[in-house]
Amino acid sequence: MKKPRNIVYGVDEALPRGVLLLSGVQHAGLVAIFLLLPVIAGRQAGLSAEKIIDVLSLSMLVMAAGPILHVLRCGPVGSGFLCPPIFAASYLPASLLALEAGGLPLMFGMTVFAGAVEIAMSRLLRPLRPFLPPEITGFVVAMIGLTIGLLGFRNVLGIGQTEAPGALSHAVAAATLALMVGLNVWGAGTSKLFCALIGMIAGYLLAIVAGVLPAADLERLNAAPIIHLPNVDHLGWSFDTDLIVPFVVAAVAASLRAIGDLTICQKTNDADWVRPDFASISGGAMANGIGTMLSGLFGSVGLNTSTSNVGLAGATGITSRRVAFVIGGIYLALAFLPKATTVFAIMPAPVVGATLLFVSALVFMNGLIIITARMLDSRRIFVIGLSFMVAMAADVFQPFFSQLPASVRVFTSSSIVLGTLTALLLNLVFRLGVRRTQTLEVDPLAVDAARIEEFMQTHGAAWGARRDVIERARFNLMQSIELLADSGVTQKTMTVAVSFDEFNLDVRVSYDGVPLELPDKRPTNDEIIASYEGQYRLAGYMLRNLADRVQVSNRTGRTTVAFHFVH
């Protein structure tokens, strides 16, 4: 990997202790926002405030293990990247259904099952790759960015709160967001590295001074014990076949999100990134599944990789995997320190909203970059466009979808789940009729360069091939046809056949005539100057080096030159 210029501390680099600690605190603070989900589940189950503290303590033990599972490459487990997990909103609808049907034991048992589904999917990512193209991964990332942004606005605007926030609350949110963005854009050194943490601390202090932090939250902080060992008498596990589909859907959505987040990690850490490394992604997806299983065993909701934290790492330029151990250590300590935990849990809504808005912009743009890295034809445009519209409908017309039967509502209660399922279904439908090999006849006496370029561009877009690979192949094809035409090797029509799969692009030029010379050694300058033969050999040498692999064959006077490009 080549470290990009905007990354200060790369994935394998050591950090100064102070930078390491503050970076861990910054990430832990962002992760803490999503502790709300196990709290919601506990309240839905009718647990007392004291028992919810137990739920949070056990949840934090899972949060301590999650980041470390990702950075440790132990056989098939781990991505090797800083990609902390959070409690996933995609699991909440299915978890609430389980609570309604069988209480906490059923939710815990089905969460363990969902983790097993994620683990199984992690081993099948490569054969499933044609059905999970990068544009769908990018779509999921972009949808997560939008979801995070909407969640941010809900906190800033007080949507769903019993009391609407006033002007002071909005001012705190605006000041917090402005400070984060300003430090990230114009800051340097420490201020840029810790722009989110500085913004959260400043926003917290502003909220206290402005009286935005509710007095009830301060009372919760005072009432919390300093040290507490979690009680586990509420743990239990059961299984219900009626809930298999909802939890499988949530697991698939979580796996796609993990693919997107880990793709961002790879792209963020490698200036020469061109394609996802599925070995690393598979390891991260398995770590994600193990984390979800642990979450079910320890009595909490399902986990998923945190797009917010991935975006934060890219924004601050600190992507070192060593930060994961600090995050794990912080949550291991917090699991037994309820008073410290409450500091995170009562973070003022305007500060939470501003932080989420800051991160959502980075995540959303990363999703768009992943989508547009591939050539998009009308099929893929409709897959992404229609999926966006359907996903937005789940949020905009929520009252309509909430009236659907419970068996259907689990697919529509989340814009990410509904949009993801729509994209996967449309991708399957639009794959019909896309031929993977295309041919073109070329007259060597009247080469039409525009027709050849249109041929490559049109079919490259239909296949969803990378722009840079198609451009290399197009240039190689034009040069080989011109060389054959100029050298007079053949006077008859040539046949061009282009084949594509998810990993390879092959271009074959067939003609009646003697084999084209493609030397693996450059001719000398004297040979080039002395004759046209030397010039043709130079052109052949350059053609060989434009492709990743070249093969020339001749059967009964018919020659085929095959150029292979790794995709």
Confidence at residue 300, expressed as pLDDT on a 0 to 100 scale: 92
- What domains sit in the chain, N to C, each tagged with a CATH number? 17-228+235-365 (no CATH), 375-434 (no CATH), 437-566 (3.30.565.10)
Closest CA to 425 of 249, 303, 243: 249
Give the three-class secondary structure for 82.
coil
Q: Three-state SS across 242-302?
A: HHHHHHHHHHHHHHHHHHHHHHHHHHHHCCCCCCCCHHHHHHHHHHHHHHHHHHHHCCCCC
**Cα–Cα distance for residue pair 518/147, rounded to 1 Å:** 54
Residue spans of alpha helices (H) in 464-550:
467-487, 525-530, 532-546
Confidence at residue 409, expressed as pLDDT on a 0 to 100 scale: 74
- Over residues 438-471, the pLDDT tens digits come to 999 999 888 898 999 999 988 888 887 878 888 8
Q: What percent of the chain has pLDDT over 70?
A: 95
Confidence at residue 64, expressed as pLDDT on a 0 to 100 scale: 94
Q: Greater confidence, 394 or 151? A: 394
- Over residues 228-280, the pLDDT tens digits come to 888 888 899 999 988 887 788 788 878 888 888 888 888 888 887 766 788 89
- Over residues 26-85, the pLDDT tens digits come to 888 778 777 777 877 887 788 876 788 888 889 999 999 999 999 988 888 989 999 999
Confidence at residue 344, expressed as pLDDT on a 0 to 100 scale: 65
Q: Greater confidence, 327 or 371? A: 327
- Over residues 543-561, the pLDDT tens digits come to 787 788 888 898 888 899 8
Confidence at residue 171, expressed as pLDDT on a 0 to 100 scale: 93
Quick check: 405 pLDDT over 90? no
Mean pLDDT of all residues in 104-116? 95
Instruction: Report CA 371 to chain centroid distance, whole Å.
Output: 11
Confidence at residue 226, expressed as pLDDT on a 0 to 100 scale: 84
* Lowest mean pLDDT, pick from 11-15, 40-44, 380-384, 472-476: 40-44
Confidence at residue 496, expressed as pLDDT on a 0 to 100 scale: 93
**Cα–Cα distance for residue pair 262/266, rounded to 1 Å:** 6
pLDDT grade, residue 433 (50/70/90)? Answer: low
Average pLDDT, the chain: 84
- Over residues 310-326, the pLDDT tens digits come to 888 888 889 999 999 99
